[in-house]
Each structure stands twice: as structure tokens, then as C-alpha cells.
Amino acid sequence: MSDILIEAKDLKKYFPIKRGVLRRTVGYIKAVDGVSLRIERGKTLGVVGETGSGKTTLGRMILRLLPADGGEVSFMGRDLFRLGRSEMKSLRKEMQIIFQDPYGSLNPRMRVSEIIAEGMNNFRVGTRKEIADRVAELLEIVGLPPESGRSYPHEFSGGQRQRIGIARAIALNPGFILCDEPVSSLDVSIQAQILNLLMDLQDRLGMAYLLIAHDLSVVEHISDRVAVMYLGRIVEEASSPDLYRNPVHPYTRALMDSIPIPDPAAPPPGIGLEIDDPTGPAIESGCLFYPRCPRRTDQCRETVPELREISPGHRVACLNLTE
């Protein structure tokens, strides 16, 4: 059996820009533009980048919640984009999602037990008693008392709601979970609890995660590998220790420098960006990071950098890797 659970090749998603009374298409926003990645069984791939870099769009395409405009995704060796409706539905048990917003992702009209049991009821997994017992077990697994299943979502804090969302996601014993910024709306102390819970569940159940985040400290804590996205493309990918020890792409280094250091005597960041707007002026050719890059050259304006391996398992898309 292959260690690769998910493999995406050259994924693309373009959103049309429409203007005028007739709403004619005048261009496209390339939310995801030729992304390829792999996720191993029982491992975590972290995807980081600024807001608007295409992280969530990428994750939702991998789950086939958004149609792709190009590329392919294989899950356990099966091409997801070629599966029919019934085949895809049966595979949904293996692919789940933990949403960013613990308040908006839970139906306020349903009791917690009904929310967690919804997937099991849809797939007719077990009798009514077996499902009730499973719900009680799941609540205990995520650190909530079994009797909380009788309550409604509004009776819980944000961290407790996210635990309910996690219980719902693992109810069907999936092999893969998309974690779409699962702790970004929580207090820092609660973030650590939720991240530790996700890591414990991964060790216990052997699930693979795609962790989407913009907080690099969160990604470092949980990820085995990290991919850095910028305007729809991966600009650097490496193992988590390698990336944090040796960030190479100027954008990755700028992200690292943006991590706050609780020391007023600490030296200023070692790298700065030329402009603050990540979308910048329209880039017709060459490197997308060119307008912001402190190491740019004339070659960067004309040539699109490809991801290339600079050391085992470490890939970077940059034309000027030397200082």
C-alpha cells in the first residue's frame, strides 16, 4: 500500500471578473494556479500564506466542494474528478472538514447529539442505540461530558463548539480531514488545547490532515511538511523543521519575520517587503512576487520561476536563491 493518501497535480481555479451592465468577463482572478502537492497517510501538510493566497480554495477543491478548472486529485488511488455522484458520496465518509468558524458551522436548531450523529444517520451506520453510544464516546474523546449532547450550540464557548465540530468530523473514522484555520478565531490558550487535541487524535486514529493557516507558529506546532502559498501558487515546500530552520524564498522569510517576538530589545526583522498590498499591480508575466521582492532582478520580471529542489524534500520557486 502506498504511503501517499492524496495527490494533487496542477490544480487550477479561476474566478471571472465581470464588469459593465452586461456583466462581461474582462479577466480572471487566479485563486489557484497550477498547484501540485502530496499528503501522506497519518501525516499533516500545513499550507500557509496571507489572506487571499488561495489556501481555502485549494482545500475545498481537494474535497471536491469546489469544481476545478484544471488538474486532478487522486484519493487512495482514485481520481476524484472522474467519480460519479454515488461513488463520491460513498467516499465522503473518508474525507471530512473542520471549519474555521465554530459559531457558524453548527446548526443552532439542532442539539449537539444530533449534529454529531448527522453523518452516521446519513450513511446509516449502526442502530439508534449504537449511534447514541458512539456520540457519547465521541464527546468524551474530545473532552466534553456525554450529557452535553442534550444541549444546543449557543450554550457552549467557542473552544467547546470547535470540539463539537471535531467530534462531528471524526464520527465516521475518516482517513483525511481538512482543517480550515480551525483555531484562528479562538483565544491563544484555547488554540493550544485544540491543536493538542488534533495531534492526539491523529496519533490515536491515524488520520491525515491538510492544515490551512496564516499563523506560522500554529503550523510549526502540528505539521510534518509545510507549503507556502502566494497568490495561488506554492513558492516553497519543505519539512517543517527544515522550513523553519532554513527559509529560503524571500516571501517565506518575510512571513517568518512577521512572527511577533515578545522582547522589546529584539533586533528588527531582517527582510522587508517593497509594498504592503499582496495583490499589487497586475502581473502580466514573470514572478508574481516581483513587485514586493527585495531581491528582484530584471530576469524576475520576465521569467516565471518553477519549483525546483534545492535539497532533499525542499523545493523553492525563486530565480535568485543566493544573497
200 pLDDT above the threshold of 90: yes
Whole-number percent of the chain with pLDDT over 90: 68
Q: Where does 223-313 show beta strands of DSSP type E?
A: 225-230, 233-239, 308-311
Q: Break the chain down into helix, strand, coil percent, rounded to 5.
A: 35, 25, 40
Give the span between the Cα atoms of 259 and 283, in whole angstroms.
28
Round the average pLDDT of the chain to a whole number and report it.
90
Whole-number percent of the chain with pLDDT over 70: 92
Pick the residue with more confidence: 283 or 308? 308
Query: What letter represents residue 90's amino acid?
Result: S
Span 53-71, average pLDDT: 95
Q: Which of the four pLDDT bands, split at 50, 70 and 90, describes residue 185? A: confident
Q: Which CATH class is domain 4-245?
A: alpha beta
Span 60-78, average pLDDT: 94
Q: Which of the four pLDDT bands, split at 50, 70 and 90, describes residue 323? A: very low
Query: Which pLDDT belongs to residue 110?
Result: 95
Q: Which of the four pLDDT bands, split at 50, 70 and 90, describes residue 295? A: confident
Q: Each residue of 211-229: b (16+ CB within 10 Å) or e?
A: bbbbbbebbbbbbbbbbbb
Output the CA–CA distances (angstroms, integers) from residue 106 to 110, 142, 184, 315, in the order listed.
8, 16, 17, 39
Give the span between the Cα atoms of 271 and 275, in whole angstroms.
13
